[in-house]
Amino acid sequence: MISARNQFKGKIKQVKLGDVMAEVVIDVGSVELVSVITRESAERMRLKPGTTVTAVIKSTEVMVATDA
């Protein structure tokens, strides 16, 4: 169990491994979420396209900007 309320179940669409970090794209239906985690974490979790995961969002703020 986890206390964060913003949880989205989805499937990994893409994993881009860098030297230190990994970008993970998760398809949660009508949107894609992108998470950047350490490469070590991605490898330990054996993340790959098609894997079902839960994206847990715990943030103190969300910023939105426009050109206007």
Question: What does the pLDDT look like over 22-42, one tens digit per residue?
Answer: 999 999 999 999 999 999 999
- Confidence band, pLDDT 50/70/90 cuts, at residue 5: confident
Question: What does the pLDDT look like over 49-67, one tens digit per residue?
Answer: 999 999 998 877 878 899 9
- Confidence band, pLDDT 50/70/90 cuts, at residue 44: very high
- Structural domains for the chain: 6-57 (2.40.50.100)
| List of residues 6+ apart from 45 with CB closer than 8 A | none
Beta-bridge mates of residue 57: 6
Is 14 within 8 Å of 33 (Cβ atoms)?
no
What pLDDT score does 3 carry?
Answer: 80
What pLDDT score does 23 carry?
Answer: 98
